[in-house]
Structure 1
Amino acid sequence: MTGQKLRALIADDEPLLAADLATRLAVLWPELEVAAVVHNGPAAVEALARLAPDIAFLDIRMPGLSGLEVAQQTRVPHLVFVTAYDQYALAAFESAAADYLLKPVSDTRLAQTIERLRQRVETTQAPSDVGQLLQQLLGKQAAQIKWIRASVGNDTHLVDVDEVIYFRADEKYTVVQTAQRDYLIRTPLRELLPQLDGARFWQVHRNTIVATSAISSARRELNGRVTLSLRGRSETLSVSRAFAHLFKQM
């Protein structure tokens, strides 16, 4: 494929994230043509069959079919998974897929993926048969939690995840903030994140995960920092530079 213009497909059910990835690919890899951007699994299968791109960036969690199921039904020379799952699952298929990207994707990490893809293309390295690993991963996907168990004195409270405004790391604990009150749990953010719906909860700082439905506005300061205002709340949340790209279009 050396000397030929490479084409890629992006499949992600979050239009803003898909558009952001396409924009940054255009900057970091201008020779790559993004042939299509789709937002669900069946559309990804159809586009892959019709366009036969060289590279596919597949979100793992999508309506209709997951990225893993799409990969089972199609064959792409170079496959990159985009995922919110933790390292224990990612390592299982790293050798079979070209790479993975952990949401939200930093420019540094995306540049590493691009370099890996370029090397694979130049050496015409074909991917291994990913079928068996995909089957294993489909069984290992973290179940989305519906309730948070929080102890208050001698009582155990079941906090509906739908009521959570944000999670914030606080020394040895994680604060679970709802509209009514906050709770303290011992589960660290790195363990919570893979169990949350990536479309509904975004990590915006190494210490903070926020419910997207709770965000009313994002303010970009002169120094480039982003601050989030929350619906019905007086406090604001800071967005670190690694996650600021999530709010470029807000």
Structure 2
Amino acid sequence: MKRVVVLTGAGISVESGIRTFRDSDGLWEGHDVMEVASPQGWAANQELVMDFYNQRRKQAMAVQPNLGHFALAELEKDFEVTIVTQNVDGLHERAGSSRVIHLHGELSKVRSSVDESIVFELEGWELKSGDLCPKGSQLRPHIVWFGEMVPMMDVAIAEVRRADILLVVGTSLVVYPAASLMSYTRAGIPKYVIDPKMPELPKDSMLYCVEEKASTGVAKVADELRKRYQ
């Protein structure tokens, strides 16, 4: 069975109602990203950061996976599929994907602010001041912030190196280190990029660009993969 690795970004969740990472003015839901997505922001104002992610969590719980998510989950019937996502919304799992690597963390989880190995599923959507881990420290969102290491990056690289086919869906390929993942593929494997706003890409005879939104583009590529590789 062919191994398909799928790199997904914010674009796949737009059709579910999740806004992309930043607006054109460089703000994220009205905030400078460093206020709400950095260790410095957390140190300066924990209440602001917790409220910001509480609202993102509440929003994610209110939306549903879209046809792009479901098409990737359906692909598991015919291929060995691993999804490497920059998204934190959990929509891939809710659509039925069974193997998802989260590069930037998960909204549904919180972790100790002194020991990143202590991670919990959060009950409900609200993390509050005074919610402590067993070591007595404040729990924080289980999100990889700017300036922090991406602990699942090596796992993702290993998966990309094993891939027989790579799909890239809804990512601008400008946020590093995730944007570097395409460079770890074996020579000669087919790579499909699905995005209505195609990012700049290197010339590659095995690179196929599908300028469509995820809900239609993923299904189209999935049908092509079944015809070519089944």
* TM-score, normalised by the number of residues in structure 1: 0.34
* TM-score, normalised by the number of residues in structure 2: 0.36
From the two aligned structures, give the one with the greater strand fraction: 1
- Higher-Rg structure is 1
Higher relative contact order (CA 8 A, sep 6+): 2
